Structure 1
Amino acid sequence: MRAKRVVAGMWMATTAAAMAAPPAPVTDKEQAAFFDFYSASHATGGLLRPQFAVTSVKGRRHVSATVDGPAQRAVLPLCRQAREAFDYDAKARRWSAAAPKQLVWVHHGSRCDAQPETPIELLAPLPDMEMLVLIQQHPTLLNNARLLMAGNTSCAPARSRGYRLRALDRARDGLPVLVFENDIGEEARIAVRKSRNELVAWSAVCTAGGR
């Protein structure tokens, strides 16, 4: 009986370790397949530098890749950049294009060649000046929104956590939305409107695991 318990304990420990282990990194074959797929539909004309990522989705290994286009100056000091996204089907052993993304950030240099570590994703079309003002004022708007979050049952437990601006969006009623993510992956969507000549936080909606 004792031997069976030891074996069962070892099996459970091994299973738990396997479940906790990170997914295997992208392989040379997966990378080579991506370069073949991409070059078949794109004129690379130079050095291609895709960024590969391997994550676990519902317990399954998921491989993706992104390719960033050239950064462009919008209104000073706003920069924007197109990002192509791709997913790998391990069963079919082939790549496919996912929905492209638009990234924006503020950079005061003469050129937009210094993308930050966490650029802001543009989820809906917004005027350049509106994006710039939202990005510049997002710390103040977040602090003001914490009062709204206190009165919202989905936001209140996490209102004192640290948040970073992850994306800009537009609500169904047309109001611009600041999409924040906190240090445990929860999302807070803060709708903003003008009051006289100032932007004010208007509403807050929070969800767990915003991505």
Structure 2
Amino acid sequence: MQACLVRPLALFVLSATLVSASAVADDVTATAAERASLLQFYGQQYPDQPAARTVFQSVPVVGGHGRELVGSVETAPYRGHGALCRTQRTKFVLQGTGKQERWQEAGIEYYAWLDRGTCRPVAEPVRLLQRVPDTELEGVLLYQKPLLERARLLMAGNTACAPLRSLKFSLAAVDVGASVRQEEERYALVFKSDRDSYARVWLRKSAGQYDAWNVTCPPML
């Protein structure tokens, strides 16, 4: 993968300021030079995909010590089926120090949300951990609230989930998989609580309707 040196270029400082004005709330404040250099590098790698906004986070170094700066560039939203809106974020990690700082691409994440209007960006779109067809995705997003309430009943019978039952949850991701080995694959709604805990609600479809089938509470997304 290619990398880009961090340079405080005036032209890209202006671009970074404009894009960041519509950015979601960052977990960390990146410098103007870091924001500008990320947009410069992104523009070189993806000249046909204009940046809509940027997000910066400080995350633990995988397999190491300390923290590192991760910058994500989000493309303009586009309309899916019905009220479904989609976008993607390309992630970059700032590596090195001082004059040797460089951005390194670290993958692409896909997001979705519902908006019957103009598909305006939202602060916390739902991450797609696997590919999900538009029609199915629109359905599970539309009924996420009643599915969560049904899942709270299931949480009462799960020793790992019971203490979390009364917490405030919001939908963080949609996944595809199996809750136990050798079980058929199902869609799962991953809810994150206001205490950074997770509830993974496995769904069952019957007669065109989804219902909460099982719930697990893993320590992370």
Same-fold status (TM-score > 0.5): yes
Matches within 5 A, 1:21-60: 25-43=29-47, 48=51, 50-57=53-60, 60=66
Return the offset for 1:160: 0.9
TM-score (normalised: structure 2):
0.75
1:138 aligns with 2:141: no
Which amino acid letter does the alignment assign opposite residue 135 of structure 2?
A: M
Matches within 5 A, 1:79-158: 79-91=85-97, 93-109=101-117, 111-112=118-119, 114-158=120-164
Q: Quick check: 121-130 or 35-44, which moved more?
A: 35-44
RMSD: 2.3
Name which one, 1 or 2, has greater alpha-carbon Rg.
1
Give me the whole-angstrom Cα distance separating, in 2, the residues matched to 1:167 and 1:204. Answer: 14
Which residue does the alignment assign to 1:205? 216
Give me the whole-angstrom Cα distance separating, in 2, the residues matched to 1:84 and 1:117. Answer: 16
Give the unaligned 5+ runs of structure 1. Answer: 1-22
Which residue does the alignment assign to 2:13? none
Give the unaligned 5+ runs of structure 2. Answer: 1-26, 179-183
Which amino acid letter does the alignment assign opposite residue 100 of structure 1?
A: I
Give me the whole-angstrom Cα distance separating, in 1, the residues matched to 2:142 and 2:74. Answer: 24
TM-score (normalised: structure 1):
0.78
Distance 1:36 1:115, change over 3 A: closer
The secondary structure found in structure 2 opposite 1:98 is strand
Q: What percentage of residue pairs aligned between the two structures are identical?
A: 30
Which residue does the alignment assign to 2:190? 179
Whose RCO is larger (CA < 8 A, sep 6+)? 2
| Structure 1 contact 54–61 (Cα < 8 Å) conserved | no
